[in-house]
Each structure stands twice: as structure tokens, then as C-alpha cells.
């Protein structure tokens, strides 16, 4: 709180026309009016609010019924032309707020990309914990534990008459002639589904 008072005092001493935006959680944002008006080259909610004095409570004080961290995430993202997400920000809420406040399309797209990235990451984590059946050796495996030595098998079956595998001539106690990763068409299909989902 003290930092905000010092910043506000400094900005006023330097001759900046400072506005205050009070959010619904009663936290306040202090910014030069000029910065809000010049953040982007298109009309958007806060610039119109400030330029037309809508929602003005007192001299240079405005109220918005939105959460502080979401409003600041939106402002900082516009200031730096990059998606900036502050602590405890819901991407669903941020996307709705950006759309509601007529934020630029690039920012809304970046929020959607981030949501998709997080969704894909969570689904892959869940997939890594599932047990799949290998199409080659027919054993169960978890994708998170699959290594290049996990799947061991023979190309052809064991002959009881000759007591060896017909593919390599080795007996039951010998090494496998095929070694590699477990393969599952079900896992591959699930990963493709996730990659192609919105």
C-alpha cells in the first residue's frame, strides 16, 4: 500500500495525469491516463471508459467489477505485447474479460493457445499413468515407463519339438531377438486425438 502511495505521489509530482481504477476486491491500480489511452491502436474498454469519463466516481477515479489480478494481467499483456499471467488467474475468466473489453485478437488467441497447451499437458500426464497393451509382446505397460529396452519378444513362436525359437534358433533361456519400445495403436490414437483437439 505504501509503495502505491509513493508511486502516486511521484507520478503527480512529475506532472502525470494519474487515474485510479478500483477493482471489485478493493485493490487499486494507478496509471497515467496517457498510458491507458495509448496502450493499443484500437478502441477498447478501459481507454473508452477513461476518455469518456464513464463510471467515474470522483476526480480520476473509476471502478470496475472485475478481479485485480485479471485486470492487471490484461493491462500488462497489452503493455508488453506478450501474454502475462499473474498469480491465481483463471485463463477462462481472462479470455472472457479480454473478449468483453475488446482486447486485440492476438491477445485472445494467445490466451486460447495457453489454455490448449495446459489442457494437452494435463491429458498427457493422465495418459502416461494409464496401462496399455503392447501390440508386439502383448504385455501391459505405462507410457511413462516405456524405454528402448522395454519390449522384448521373438518374431516367431517357440517350437517344442526342436526346443528353440524358429526365428533365431535360441532356447527359452536365451536373449530375445527383438528388443525396443512397447507399441500401442490405442496410445498412438489417443495422442493424435489430443493433438488435434481444440
Domains of the chain and CATH, by start: 2-125 (3.30.710.10), 131-196 (no CATH)
Q: What is the C-alpha separation between 147 and 130, in angstroms, rounded?
A: 16
Residue 10: phi and psi, rounded to 5, are: -60, -45
DSSP string, 165-187: ETTT---TTS--SEEE----HHH
Q: Give me the pLDDT at residue 167, please.
A: 86
Q: What is the C-alpha separation between 79 and 58, in angstroms, rounded?
A: 26
73: left (phi over 0), alpha (psi -120 to 50) or beta: alpha
Q: Give me the pLDDT at residue 99, please.
A: 96
Q: How many other C-beta atoms lie within 10 A of the C-beta of residue 113? A: 11
Instruction: Give pLDDT tens digits along the chain (198 positions).
Output: 555 555 555 555 556 688 899 999 999 999 888 888 888 888 888 888 888 866 555 678 888 999 999 999 999 999 999 999 999 999 999 999 999 999 999 999 999 999 988 887 666 666 777 888 899 888 988 888 899 999 998 888 888 888 888 888 888 888 888 899 998 887 777 776 766 665
- In eight-state DSSP terms, residue 29 is E
3-state secondary structure of 63: strand
Q: How many other C-beta atoms lie within 10 A of the C-beta of residue 10? A: 11
C-alpha cell at position 107: 491477445
- 8 contacts: CB under 8 Å, gap ≥ 6: 18, 20, 30
C-alpha cell at position 99: 473478449
Q: What is the C-alpha separation between 66 and 25, in angstroms, rounded?
A: 8
Would you state the torsion angle of the CA atoms of residues 93, 94, 95, 100, taken in this order, to the nearest 10 degrees?
90
Amino acid at each position: 500500500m505504501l509503495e502505491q502511495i509513493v508511486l502516486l505521489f511521484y507520478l503527480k509530482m512529475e506532472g502525470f495525469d494519474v487515474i485510479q481504477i478500483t477493482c471489485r476486491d478493493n485493490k487499486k491500480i494507478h496509471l497515467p491516463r496517457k498510458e491507458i489511452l495509448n496502450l493499443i491502436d484500437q478502441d477498447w474498454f478501459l481507454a473508452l471508459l477513461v476518455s469518456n469519463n464513464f463510471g467515474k466516481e470522483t476526480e480520476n477515479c473509476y471502478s470496475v467489477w472485475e478481479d485485480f489480478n485479471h485486470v492487471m494481467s490484461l493491462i500488462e499483456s497489452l503493455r508488453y505485447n506478450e501474454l502475462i499471467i499473474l498469480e491465481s488467474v483463471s485463463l477462462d475468466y481472462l479470455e472472457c474479460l479480454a473478449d468483453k473489453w475488446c482486447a486485440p485478437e492476438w491477445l485472445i488467441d494467445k490466451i486460447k493457445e495457453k489454455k490448449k497447451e495446459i489442457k494437452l499437458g494435463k491429458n498427457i500426464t493422465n495418459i502416461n499413468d494409464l496401462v496399455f497393451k503392447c501390440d508386439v509382446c502383448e504385455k501391459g505397460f505405462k507410457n511413462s515407463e516405456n524405454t528402448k529396452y522395454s519390449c522384448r519378444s521373438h518374431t516367431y513362436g517357440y517350437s517344442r519339438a526342436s526346443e528353440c525359437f524358429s526365428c533365431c534358433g535360441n532356447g527359452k533361456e536365451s536373449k530375445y531377438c527383438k528388443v525396443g519400445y512397447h507399441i500401442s495403436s490405442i496410445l498412438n490414437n489417443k495422442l493424435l486425438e489430443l493433438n488435434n483437439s481444440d
